[in-house]
Amino acid sequence: MTVSLMGVSKWYYDQNLILDKISLTVQRGAFLYIVGESGAGKSTLLRLLATEEAPSSGIVSLFDYDLNRAF
């Protein structure tokens, strides 16, 4: 199982840019720690990985399937 983000950005209508062109690949069995200051985009990143939100731009994929097609 592979989860990938390729050039993912996220912004909201009433806020500035939250994530800017993030690229990340997580392989099966890997541990992922997400750390950062308040407002750094940690929760937004997790919501993108859980497909609770769609990216504003870029591709989120699971098993090489573009999850943007699900939105």
Which of 65, 62, 30 lies closest to 49 in space, CA to CA?
62
User: How confident is the model at residue 11, as a pLDDT?
Assistant: 93
45 pLDDT higher than 90 = yes
Task: Please tell me which residue, 49 or 22, carries the higher pLDDT value.
Answer: 22
Q: Average pLDDT in the 40-49 region?
A: 92
Do 45 and 59 contact (CB within 8 A), yes or no? no
As a whole number, mean pLDDT of residues 8-27 equals 90
| Residue scoring higher pLDDT (14 or 26) | 26
| Architecture of the CATH domain 2-70 | 3-Layer(aba) Sandwich (3.40)
pTM here is: 0.82
In the chain, where the domains are located = 2-70
What value does the mean pLDDT take over residues 26-35? 90
